[in-house]
């Protein structure tokens, strides 16, 4: 266990007296197997955040300690216009808290399920959020790995079954190329309303066999350029997959389906999104599913622990980014 936890103590850390009492808890905006996400307002600044709470016992029981620490490290060290930002992190005796920027536009697929032939129960890539200006942001890096340099550095079998790449299914070790497989899954789902590989009658063996063989049906209404892109992303050998080579994402960005896309303008947000959330306030939750917002916010009182006194969660505290907009 200790060998998995040493990286956290190497982060740029400083102690803080920040506690959950420093926030007004407004609405539940997400739930998961390890905790929930709560829309909150910092009392001294009125800044709005999404606080992700995780139960320590559940994380330990489900062997998610390493994944949680990786997520904590990634969120501190990555700065990107389309990745969710971490403002603070702190802990109590029983819980961990990630204080993240709030994306009031909700989940991408919350919108897609309402404008087309999308089955909301099937849609799974819920880690694509929409910010207040309509730009997409990625969140939830709990299953991510750091320092991945080849297509076989990571070994863990994890993730939603329908979106696993062949190398994950076969436990051959995986790397960055799995992300391009996932890009193919998201593109396919956005265009058709369902994942390219689906779990039928709970038969995982059949699902995994289809993934291994890349048995994907491309609908006739998909353009030839998009079909070519998808077929090059759904390749079993990660080294042969588009984006799996030394050029990484450059090869994907240069595919003909993206012809005419000015990536520099996208990175600098000079291209306006086709949708911008219509918000009445900075705590508006109209784009958050009522399944979440109707839940009780209740946060039971807990004793504060000093995060610098050792243990598996040593160094979890973070007070680096306080100017999120």
Q: Binding site: residue ranges?
A: 62
| Helices of type H across the chain | 2-5, 56-61, 65-77, 108-115, 166-169, 177-192, 204-212, 224-233, 249-253, 263-267, 290-293
DSSP element (H, E) containing 100: strand 95-101
Residue 212 in 3-state DSSP?
helix
**Contact of 52 with 98, CB cutoff 8 Å:** yes
The count of C-alpha atoms lying within 13 angstroms of the C-alpha of 141, restricted to the half-sphere facing its C-beta, is: 21
Residue 83 in 3-state DSSP?
strand
Distance CA 102, CA 38 (A): 10
Residues tagged in the binding site annotation for ATP = 62
The count of C-alpha atoms lying within 13 angstroms of the C-alpha of 96, restricted to the half-sphere facing its C-beta, is: 25
* Tokens describing residue 72: 């904590």
DSSP code of residue 9: G
* Tokens describing residue 56: 């320590």
Q: Which of 301, 284, 275 is nearest to 48 (CA)?
A: 284
Distance CA 91, CA 88 (A): 10
Distance CA 52, CA 296 (A): 15
């Amino acid at each position: 266990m200790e060998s998995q936890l040493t990286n956290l103590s190497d982060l740029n850390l400083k102690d803080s007296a920040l506690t959950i009492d420093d926030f007004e808890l407004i609405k539940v905006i997400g739930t998961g197997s390890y905790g929930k996400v709560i829309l909150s307002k910092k009392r001294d600044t009125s800044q709005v955040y999404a606080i992700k709470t995780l139960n320590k016992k559940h994380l330990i029981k489900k062997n998610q300690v390493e994944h949680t620490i990786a997520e904590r490290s990634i969120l501190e060290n990555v700065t990107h216009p389309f990745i969710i930002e971490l403002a603070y992190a702190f802990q109590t005796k029983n819980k961990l808290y990630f204080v993240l920027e709030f994306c009031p536009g909700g989940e991408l697929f919350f919108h897609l399920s309402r404008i087309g032939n999308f089955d909301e129960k099937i849609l799974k890539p819920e880690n694509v959020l929409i910010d207040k200006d309509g730009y997409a942001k990625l969140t939830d890096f709990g299953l991510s790995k750091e320092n991945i340099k080849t297509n076989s550095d990571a070994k863990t079998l994890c993730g939603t079954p329908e979106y696993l790449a062949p190398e994950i299914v076969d436990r051959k070790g995986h790397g960055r190329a799995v992300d391009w497989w996932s890009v193919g899954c998201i593109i396919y789902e956005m265009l058709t309303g369902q994942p390219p590989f689906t779990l039928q009658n709970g038969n995982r063996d059949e699902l995994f066999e289809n993934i291994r063989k890349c048995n994907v049906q491309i609908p006739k209404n998909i353009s030839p350029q998009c079909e070519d892109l998808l077929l090059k992303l759904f390749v079993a050998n990660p080294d042969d997959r588009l984006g799996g080579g030394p050029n990484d994402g450059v090869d994907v960005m240069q595919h003909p389906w993206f012809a005419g896309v000015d990536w520099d303008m996208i990175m600098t947000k000079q291209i306006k999104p086709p949708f911008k959330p219509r918000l009445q306030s900075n705590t508006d939750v109209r784009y958050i599913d009522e399944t979440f917002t109707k839940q009780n916010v209740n946060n039971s009182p807990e004793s504060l622990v000093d995060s610098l006194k050792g243990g598996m969660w040593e160094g979890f505290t973070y007070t680096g980014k306080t100017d999120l907009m």
